[in-house]
Amino acid sequence: MSTKQPAMTGAEIAQELTMTRQNVSQILKRGMDKVYHNLEKRPGDQSPFDIMVEMSLMFQVEQTPEEVSKFFRLYSENLKKKIAQSAADKFDFYELRTL
């Protein structure tokens, strides 16, 4: 039986790959955007928020506020705004619309 290991931090990944933490962050953001846009192309009526939730499950993100918040920060600024707006519309949260 395998046990789930904690995710590596950006600094740990950077050290392992001998690159800067900034480069790791940029690579992760581009990768997240690519996965998001590929899921967005599928037929159906999924909101940006729904796609984010699906991705968090795909990547086995622990569904706690802290871990989901860390996951959300991996998206590019444009997608974060799009997802926040979608969540605000879905749940009628005015505060999210101001992000």
Look over the chain and give the mean of its residue pLDDT values, rounded to a whole number: 87
Predicted TM-score (pTM) above 0.75: yes
Q: What is the pLDDT of residue 4?
A: 67
Residue 82 has pLDDT above 90, yes or no: yes
Band of pLDDT at residue 94, cut at 50, 70 and 90:
low
Band of pLDDT at residue 10, cut at 50, 70 and 90:
confident
Band of pLDDT at residue 6, cut at 50, 70 and 90:
confident
Q: Higher confidence at residue 3 or residue 21? A: 21
Amino acid at 31: G
CB 40 within 8 A of CB 32: no
Stretch (H or E) spanning 22: helix 21-40
